[in-house]
Amino acid sequence: MHTGKQASKFFSILCICVIRVVSLAFFGACGALLVVLGCALPEFGSWWPLFVLLPYVLAPIPITVVNRTTERSATSSVSYEVAVFLTTGIVMSAFGIPAVLTHVNKISTGAMALTIGGNIFVFLTLFLYFNVFTSDDDDFAWGIV
């Protein structure tokens, strides 16, 4: 039978997890909103910035694959380092796409700024997701990834 102290601990852990999920959803939605605003506002009028959606999908794949296929130890492994390198390249390309599109006059500077702002929110969300839900702390991690 559960005591009041155990139930209180369960509900506090549940509240912390719900707050984490809601916070991640909020940051992700803010990033998506900024990217869509960079496309849809009448003064920008170009849907080219949506090309950053491809790096959003590709960025978590290398680290997720390595986390699923190899055992993480205290020392660094070659496969993990390669995954971090690939992820870094994908993330940097998401910041480079709007800059290149602005350079070749496909999008305006305002659209680039909104898209890069959206990138910051989206990649902050991905970073927090991997830190929150893959930690070894059994009380607060869900072990989803």
Q: Is residue 84 part of a domain?
A: yes
Q: Is residue 115 part of a domain?
A: yes
99-114 pLDDT tens trace: 999 999 999 999 999 9
3 state SS of 122? helix
Cα–Cα dist 20/130, whole Å: 12
Q: Is residue 144 part of a domain?
A: no
Q: Residue 15: is its pLDDT beyond 50? A: yes
Q: Looking at the whole model, is its pTM more than 0.85?
A: no
Q: How far is CA 99 from the centre of its chain?
A: 20
pLDDT of residue 135: 60
Structural domain span for residue 63: 7-132
38-92 pLDDT tens trace: 999 999 888 999 999 999 999 999 988 988 888 766 567 888 899 999 999 999 9
DSSP 139: T
Q: Output the average pLDDT for the chain.
A: 85
Q: Is residue 137 part of a domain?
A: no
pLDDT of residue 34: 95
Q: Is residue 53 part of a domain?
A: yes
pLDDT of residue 54: 95
